[in-house]
Amino acid sequence: MRHPQDLLSAYVDGVLSDREAADVAAHLAECQACRETVADLRAVRKLLRTVRTPEPPADLPARLLESVGRTRRAVPAGRWAVAAAALLASLLLAKLPWIPAPSDAVVRDLREHAKASTAHPMGDVGLGSLLSGLLGERGTDEP
Amino acid sequence: MPSEADALVSTAPAGEDAQTEFARLVEAHWRSAFRFAYRLTGNADDAEDLVQQAAEEALRAFSRFQPGTRFDRWWLRILYNSFLDRTRRERRRSYFPLEDIPSPLPAGREADPETALEAHLDGPVQKALDALPPDFRAAVVLVDLEGLSYQEAAQVLRCPVGTVRSRLHRARLALREWLREYVDAVNRGALG
């Protein structure tokens, strides 16, 4: 076997196949130069493993998440209410069969409200009363 | 990175949950991202910058992240690409071609290697790492410092396993020349 130069690092790392590893070991038994290279490669690996990485700043994850536009705690509960109200409003406007078709006046009000709640996402009291009114109407339809 | 192994595999990101999931994954893996970035860039400020950029790019690409695969590898890959872009843009440093290995280490000689080994190893080793071309340095950092397998490193570096193997070997041979005094000291038993 000629000098298995390009296999020596993999040999040191123990990632050669059994066959390759046996061939390299047989060569090393007869080759002083390659034995020295293997010893040096082990030494290099050892040196590399001594380096320490400084402790990263503890607030790094917070700053990372802030910089990508959010933190987990930053979603205000109000936004969920707005999203739910908007969904309900769109369902009503779509006249889904399981909800009785609202009167034209109600549709108009809802449209107005949808615009308003987009502009003022924090206040959604109006929609709440509108919806309860609507559900009340529906209740009176049933015997 | 065995201590982080339990938080590695993600669940499916979807909609609003995706951002929460992303935040969770970033919190689980920012340390390994920082370590990789630090060893690639050689200093904490650039490392932080790089991690930040990689986090932003990862969020933008998060819909393409495949649930059930390793987020840390995926993020490190993005980080590595950002790093390569930077080095191409900046070209602040000149790298030594590995065929033309200078000896001794151009970074200057430290004191007596035996005593320097104890206290100042970081300096010379980091300087030697910095002198490697970026793709060779990345292979060394992932395998020798972070303990990844060749296969895992190949995933991060997006190259064949054989390429990792040859880069690693050539990089170590270069480091051997640049750190000759320290290598000899280790061979004499200096590091135990």
Q: What is the mean pLDDT of chain B?
A: 81
Residue A135 confidence class, pLDDT cut points 50, 70, 90: very low
Shortest Cα distance, chain A CAs vs residue B132, angstroms: 14
A24 within some domain: yes
A2 within some domain: yes
Which of B17, B169, B179 to probe by mutation at the A interface, max A CB count within 10 Å? B169
What is the three-class DSSP state of B9? strand
Residue B157 near residue B135 (C-beta atoms within 8 A): yes
- Nearest to A51, CA basis, from B123, B43, B107: B123
Q: Which residue of B has its CA nearest to A8?
A: B169
Q: Which residue of B has its CA nearest to A64?
A: B52
Place of tokens 């809802």: A110
B9 forms beta bridges with B70
Shortest Cα distance, chain B CAs vs residue A114, angstroms: 21
Residue B15 confidence class, pLDDT cut points 50, 70, 90: low
Residues ≥6 apart with Cβ < 8 Å to A90: A114
Judging contacts by C-beta atoms under 8 Å, the chain A residues touching residue B16 are 75
What does the pLDDT look like over B26-85, one tens digit per residue? 999 999 999 999 999 888 899 999 999 999 999 999 999 988 889 999 999 999 999 999
pLDDT (average), residues B81-109? 63
Nearest to A9 among B27, B168, B186 (CB): B168
| Cβ separation A56–B55 shorter than 8 A | no
A8 within some domain: yes
For A116, the enclosing helix (H) or strand (E) is helix A104-119
What does the pLDDT look like over A111-127, one tens digit per residue? 665 555 555 444 444 44
In the prediction, which pLDDT does A141 show? Answer: 40
Q: How far apart are alpha carbons B16 and B75 in whole angstroms?
A: 20
Judging contacts by C-beta atoms under 8 Å, the chain A residues touching residue B176 are 40-41, 43-44
A7 within some domain: yes
A115 within some domain: no
- Nearest to B71, CA basis, from B156, B164, B149: B156
Interface of A with B (CB under 8 A): 5-6, 8-10, 13, 15, 39-41, 43-54, 56-57, 60-61, 63-65, 67-72, 75
Nearest to A71 among B23, B179, B186 (CB): B23
The domain total for chain A is 1
User: Residue B170: is its pLDDT beyond 90?
Assistant: yes
In the prediction, which pLDDT does A54 show? Answer: 79
User: Residue B159: is its pLDDT beyond 60?
Assistant: yes
B40/A90: higher pLDDT? B40
pLDDT (average), residues B94-118? 49
In the prediction, which pLDDT does B16 show? Answer: 67
What is the three-class DSSP state of B21? helix
Residue A92 confidence class, pLDDT cut points 50, 70, 90: low
Q: Does B187 touch chain A (CB under 8 A)?
A: yes
Q: Give residues 74 to 113 of B whose Cβ lies within 8 Å of A.
A: none
Q: How far apart are alpha carbons B76 and B87 in whole angstroms?
A: 16
User: Residue A95: is its pLDDT beyond 60?
Assistant: no
User: Residue B92: is its pLDDT beyond 60?
Assistant: no
A14 within some domain: yes
Q: With pLDDT > 90 as the criterion, what percentage of chain A qualifies? A: 29
Burial of A61 per CB tally in 10 Å (0-12, 13-18, 19+): buried
A10/B5: higher pLDDT? A10
B70 forms beta bridges with B9
Give residue A3's domain range: 1-53
- Nearest to A95, CA basis, from A107, A84, A105: A107
CB crowding B136-160: b at 16 or more within 10 Å, else e: bbbbbbbbbbbebebebbbbbbeee
In the prediction, which pLDDT does B112 show? Answer: 53
Which span out of A35-49, A62-76, A93-107 was modeled with the highest average pLDDT? A35-49
Quote the pTM value: 0.66
User: Residue B133: is its pLDDT beyond 50?
Assistant: yes
- Nearest to B74, CA basis, from B65, B84, B86: B65
User: Residue B98: is its pLDDT beyond 80?
Assistant: no
Q: Does B28 touch chain A (CB under 8 A)?
A: no
What is the three-class DSSP state of B70? strand
Q: Does B39 touch chain A (CB under 8 A)?
A: yes
Rg of chain B over all Cα atoms, to the nearest angstrom: 18
A94 within some domain: no
Nearest to A64 among B19, B30, B143 (CB): B30
